[in-house]
Chain A
């Protein structure tokens, strides 16, 4: 039933997908991209869109048999688990995949009692921090890629490497493994990894006199396109997001900053030390200036950008009032779901927008093309911080199940990619490629991915200092130079332990 639903998301525009794949292959062979492959550990020469397609469906997986080697299938125990799963804004298919995961786990391990709580992305971090401090944390937690470092540095995680649940480390992206490595120790296992893509409305592009099938190639193009769209149609050009305390903001701003040659620390360098601050460099200032130009000078983006997250951008995009956004591969499925929920003439208009959706690579800056290497990792909390007694065998059974090639592919069905690279060889990956529109485009951005710096202070830098820097500029409380200097000072203070 699940797969039938997956098939319902049809590849409506094969020529565009094919063209994008060709474009992806061409770009992947550029020297700049080779350099970025070093950061993620993904060899762009190998991981082309064609390669991904060619290996899909070449391996059969028996998850129960693999996990039985870690924890016997008749094991009796209990495991508590917190995760950030599908929300009301997620496509129906994602809900079904999660339901299927829990149902299959219960069938495979009938004697393990699983207490799973889906806690929203915006609440999970604070809730887990508080729970860990009060020794009331769950045994297992799946967290976004950025968060684990803080818990590891505080000693609130157990060491956990792929071999502990039966998988070799070489099955995972080296870049992703970096995100779970702190002080030379491994604290978790990647479950899914993804990069976002650039999405535009071909209808608005045409209305504004732009080539409807061509994405802006550079960030300067984005600024210019946004202005042209506003002037010629009265609609918002780029879906700028600058809310404080929302992960959406750095996920959309950092690609521009890295592209123009800046960074929060030196995370975009080939050999990052994570001690050098690059937020007050010409490249970083150029990126902030781009935001200023769109928001203040051209007024070509939504005014509500300072209070918006990407979720709030979905409405104007679907209402044909916003032309360009950066989002996950799942955005197409989400828009399709939402359009299907509309009625009458609204539905017709929304379906037209979905039909006009195009996916392209994230634009490049003066230096390079970059995107956040995102995803999630699963961790076992330190038994001292867990409510009740830790059941390690049950925890490992759950982790083996979700980090294996089958479920790391299925759980990531619409919004990400399998963290376990064997997932790319499964029949389910083949089905995804056959049925999910634009998946090839977002997957081909993986070699351009840069992980956020793995330091305990990362969350504050990305979710607070950088968005506040942007808000100071966009509200004209500070100039670009003042704001970047202020951010540099704050990050320095943070690294100095002030």
Chain B
């Protein structure tokens, strides 16, 4: 598009031969001015709907906003909201719940998705139908799915409990959602059911890019199927897997619908995670200040994950960049 960018400037005379000087930042921006113009509308919208709310959330996190006061009468408390939050027993419990929920949901969704992708990557009759069937949980509305699962799990009249009881596996009612020890694993099962098709599709796409000649070469060299998988397929999927894990991790950290609809964070806070707690504090208890502090902490965690995500996305670019 632009010769200066494409060819680079003339080398400085005092630089070693073969190395070109990189243009300055302003020069590069100016060179790409038309590109910036094209993305300007999108950038402006993003600034309005993302940057400003983030800024306002950070500002609010330094204020106390009791329910009896209008927002304009909020009280500046500095870092008090953060201190209160980090010292609270409840925050620690909710943080543990959040990581249990996020890590296990991500882990099982990827493992199950990987397995399904390996199956679907083979040729067999009915593969197309099976692929469609396995995608159903992903396309169903999370709200509808949550209500359906709530009835499947219902402690008194749930389908699951009824089946297990009739088959003689349990002698009493199956209490999943009303039990503090079982509620989170029960919700993780629902989440994995809902999310594994996403992992499956991502990994399946990755599997279809594994070069057949490499696998053939491995077979010729006498590699067993396991070794072919470990030494050819898996390394080739590394990028896809990292991105899938990061995307699912972020999605799970932000996942609101399933825990909120199925249990509202209960019983006794046993399924409360950061995002449900933030909603509860902001809209149930009308503490926008402390909810904002909570959100800022969540945001920082997300930024860290986002950094690794971008790094994973651009890892190939770095390798391809000429030295």
Question: What is the interface of chain A, defined by CB distance below 8 A to chain B?
Answer: 126, 129-130, 133, 150, 153-156, 236, 243-246, 302-307, 315-316, 321, 455-457, 459-460, 463-464, 468, 471-472, 474-475, 477, 497
Contacts and interface: CB of A to CB of B under 8 A. Distances in A.
B76 to A, nearest CB: 14
Interface in B231-277: 262-270
B154 interface: yes
A243 to B, nearest CB: 7
Interface of B: 64, 66-71, 150, 154-157, 173, 175, 177-180, 262-270, 280, 283-286
Contacts of A236: 156
B69 A154 contact: yes
Given A460-B286, A464-B280, A307 B156 contact: no
B2 to A, nearest CB: 44
A464 B285 contact: yes
A307 B263 contact: yes
A304 B155 contact: yes
Contacts of A316: 156-157
B263 A468 contact: no
Majority DSSP secondary structure for residues of A touching B = helix
- 6 closest A-B pairs by CB: A456-B68, A303-B155, A306-B267, A304-B155, A471-B268, A306-B178
Contacts of A475: 179-180, 267-268, 270
Nearest to B260: A245
A468 B268 contact: yes
A129 B283 contact: yes
Contact of B267 (A133, A456, A471): A471
B48 to A, nearest CB: 15
B266 A306 contact: yes
Nearest to B288: A133
A130 B279 CA distance: 12
Contact of B68 (A126, A153, A468): A153
Nearest to B66: A497
Contacts of A126: 283-284
Contacts of B178: 303-307
Contacts of A302: 155-156
A154 B157 contact: no
A150 B267 contact: no
Given A155-B70, A246-B264, A464-B285, 17 more contacts: A126-B283, A150-B68, A150-B286, A153-B67, A156-B70, A244-B265, A303-B178, A304-B156, A304-B157, A306-B178, A307-B155, A307-B177, A307-B267, A315-B157, A468-B269, A475-B267, A475-B270
A346 to B, nearest CB: 14
A236 B270 CA distance: 25
A474 to B, nearest CB: 7
